[in-house]
Structure 1
């Protein structure tokens, strides 16, 4: 009485009398959308892996992986900090360096060295690492404690041996851990020397660590797209939906960011140089040739932000504020008129100036967004235009970029289950019906119902014999034609007011007949 999986049993060639059970997969397949809140940030840090996308959920997690916020340009922690103020909580952080970064280290013993401790990562935070040797819990043993401020100390206890063997055992405990009691160190790597001098109880502080953040350029942030990928390209295949290169105000990098955003379905956030004029911003964008829905260009009116870590009010890029707010909105939403938090002021507002209608019109026509106070909703800081860099009025909304990427990449991820299955040319072919209903059922959940406006306005799906001809089927094609109408974003609210002593006022009854 064999049991087999679907498709494994040839039911037209059975000979032995028996019960044959086939396990069939569910005929109703469902789609769960991809997350749209993942924000990729590329910048410098004082600790952590280089060119390796790291998952961070909050500032505590950032501090554990990359150290503190640094008061300097291109700092990744600054952008994470301001984005978390907007509610963002799902980051892919990529640390970059200029190649001069050094890992902190310290040695015990000289000529010859007994042991050398080297920080696991490069960066100045490694200079705060302290390795303390002392008496172990067991008789005739030693204990090594590796400590970093703000982190749980690592304790390697009951290390035995004498002479060079003891130093080798200390190094082995730190590098490999101690059985199931204590895993390897996450802070340092130990290298045993040839010295035989007995240890002396005491603390050793590592030194010499540098961040490699002195000569950062747009090329550093962009990185390279060859394995191992570096910089921005390290975000490939991470399901990042929004991304920014921290404080990258170099217009020559924009076209490369656009190409990457289009290839990965990522909404890229760029920015103009600090204190930029509107005329220069418009001319620079035109010269760069950026006219696409995958890039959002923010005007170089930078933000004053209270940096509580360094106890200073700093001038920082608006990228993190805008991208962080977008990461905390569902994809059908626009950043237009949404309040932003943690802003002390902008360069414009700190001079008690506001944007005129002519200035806003120039920015909007050029496809450049700007953070201002007030916004139509009132006296709050927020995005004033809510557009991407496209000049096409049908595709220049934030909502177009995010919804298009969401729909396209969710379908790309979910519909692969139909590849390799069998279809026929008959009108009642079950595969085409199943594929079409899978897409339709997902879109139906996004459509509004009653007082719930939903995420989309309407849709249609065709996957039948009309768009799958016998010749196409013979060549191995299955085609679904999907149309989705997005919800409209109110950008201009026109109120027609007729007032005066001679106005005739009529009221319509709102009572049901």
Structure 2
């Protein structure tokens, strides 16, 4: 009684009489939406991997991976701290440098002051200069212990390392680079290389400090954060290091150069990522609008904030700092469900803005002009009360049907989910069962969105439609290997204008209706 997965048995060419079992997959599949809360941030730091999208989920992750926040332009750790306070909890952070960064180094010496092992910081940056290593007697007899320390991070201890002469130094290097089996893993702070000495370490032990680490932050420009693309992850830098990370919202820290917006827009369209940027600090909506027009960016994939920067209380450095509004906007958008707009949503970690600090709140005509200019701004008050929040909730598209934050987010969410779920269809035979299975899977996913209140028709019409049959798959197309599904989805509308018609007075006549209106 042989058993076969469905499709692996040629049922038209059986020769041996027997019972054949074919395992059939379920006719109905269920898919889950891709994560929409992944926020990509690109900036500079004094520690951490360069050009790699690194997962950050908490302040502890940030300090361990990239160090502490510094008062400077393009600072990655500052943007991470603001974003986490703003509700972002699934961050992919990318560190950039100007190419001059170096890793701090130090050397463990033998009794003749020759190098037994060279220790090099795992990452480039000035934070590596705070590393230290102590080599002393181990817990077991005739053994050695190496302790590697970096302030703010638990020390790494490699104990009971045995051997003599060159063998001992080789074992020390192996413990650092490969870990100690069953005891601890390799060092996350340094890498080691062995010297050529055959002498023992200094008998009383030694502590060495690291030096010569540089961060490569001297000549950073907006273009460095944009970076360069490549066919492999190793050649990608800056923004392009976010490719494949799943980030659906991206913030290039403090980038204000309007000539870079078309490049950001192109990336956003290709990756299904909402790119958030802004004008320079103090730049009015007139100035930023002119830059946007000059850049020629008219698409749902880019959002540009007015140059009214936001003040934030930096607890680490003990001062109130002016932060780019895109940092707040990107965090708020990423932390929300994709069907929501940033419009009128409170931003709780904003202290003030440049305009609010001068006690010059925006007038209604100014807010209207900002909306007309396809820009957004963070200010206080908002329609919902005296709090800081967005006043347009718009992307840079001039098409009113697609210019909402929710359009960008929902379109990318649905498109990326479908792209991630139906790759397995390629290579299968186009049969009625395959069509039915694909269609029902799509409909099941979209119905889930209806049930969750993420899509729908408020007036009672259908929320979606999926067509996958002979009407849109004629024989000529099928013969060429095509299978086409036409999907329509109706998003819920964001209320932008609430009109209340008030009739009051002593002469008003009110007639009660017996049938409640809906």
Alpha-carbon distance in 2 for matches of 1:81, 1:198: 43
Partner of 2:412, secondary structure, is: helix
Tell me the residue number matched to 1:217. 221
Give, in whole Å, the separation in 1 of the partners of 2:117 and 2:12: 72
For 1:501, the equivalent position in structure 2 comes to 506
Q: Output the CA distance in 1 between the equivalents of 2:11 and 2:163.
A: 69
Partner SS, residue 168 of structure 2? helix
CA distance in 2, matches of 1:510, 1:333: 33
Which of 140, 143, 148 is matched with 2:142 structurally?
A: 140
Aligned pairs, number: 505
The Cα shift of 1:233 comes to 0.6
After superposition, the C-alpha distances for 1:146-169 in whole angstroms (9 at most, x for unaligned) are: 111221211111123334443333
Residue 437 of structure 1: how far off its partner (Å) = 1.4
What pairs up with 1:62-461 in 2 under 5 angstroms? 62-109=62-109, 112-195=114-197, 196=199, 198-199=201-202, 200-226=204-230, 227=232, 228-424=235-431, 429-448=432-451, 453-457=453-457, 458-461=463-466
Q: Shift of residue 220 of structure 1?
A: 0.9
Partner of 1:478: 483
Residue 379 of structure 1: SS of its match in structure 2? coil
Compute the displacement of 1:480 (Å).
Answer: 1.0
Match of 2:28 in 1: 28
Separation (CA, whole Å) in 1 of partners of 2:328 and 2:286: 24
- Name the residue aligned to 2:460: none
CA distance in 1 between counterparts of 2:282 and 2:454 reads 40
The answer to whether the Cα contact below 8 Å between 1:97 and 1:212 also exists between their aligned partners in 2 is yes
**Per-residue CA shift, 1:453-494, capped at 9, x if unaligned?**
443331111111111112222121111111111100000111
TM-score, with length taken from structure 1? 0.95
* Structure-2 separation of matches of 1:279 and 1:325: 25
Pick closer, same or farther for the CA change 1:456–1:86 going to 2, 3 Å.
farther
For 2:510, what is the secondary structure of its paired residue? coil
Aligned to 1:6: 6
How far apart in 2 are the matches of 1:192 and 1:33?
49
Over residues 197-250 of structure 1, what are the superposed CA-to-partner deviations in whole Å (9 max), with x where a residue is unaligned? 632423222122222112111221111111321111111111111111111111
1:466 matched to which residue of 2? 471
What displacement does 1:364 show? 0.9
Structure 1 residue 17 corresponds to structure 2 residue 17: yes
1:122-168 CA distance string (max 9 Å, x none): 11211221111111111122111011122121111112333444333
Q: Is the 8 A contact 1:79 1:319 kept in 2?
A: no
Distance 1:162 1:17 in 2: 71
SS in 2 for 1:114: strand
2: distance between equivalents of 1:17 and 1:168? 65
Relative to structure 1, is the Cα distance of residues 240 and 113 closer, same or farther in structure 2, using a 3 angstrom cutoff?
Answer: same
DSSP-derived class of the 1:447 partner:
helix
Q: 1:83 to 1:456 in 2, by over 3 A?
A: farther
The gaps in structure 1 that reach 5 residues or longer are none
The answer to whether the 8 Å contact 2:132/2:208 transfers is yes
Map Cα deviations across residues 349-369 of structure 1 (whole Å, 9 max, x no partner): 111110112221221111110
Compute the displacement of 1:62 (Å).
1.1
Please tell me whether the aligned partners of residues 455 and 489 of structure 2 are also in contact (alpha carbons under 8 angstroms).
Answer: no
Which secondary structure does the structure 2 equivalent of 1:369 belong to? Answer: coil
Per-residue CA deviations over 1:407-460 (Å, capped at 9, x if unaligned) read 111111112222222235xxxx23222221111111111115xxx744333111
Q: Residues of 1 paired with 2:201 and 2:434: CA distance?
A: 75
Shift of the alpha carbon at 1:111? 6.6
Following superposition, which runs of at least 4 residues in structure 1 exceed 4 angstroms of deviation?
509-512
Equivalent pair of 2:39/2:247 in contact (CA under 8 Å):
yes
Per-residue CA distance 1:372-408 (angstroms, 9 max, x = gap): 1001010010011000011111110000001111111
Take 1:48 and 1:455, find their aligned partners in 2: how far apart are those partners? Answer: 41
Q: Measure how far apart 1:510 and its partner are.
A: 6.4
Distance in 2 of aligned mates of 1:147 and 1:198: 19
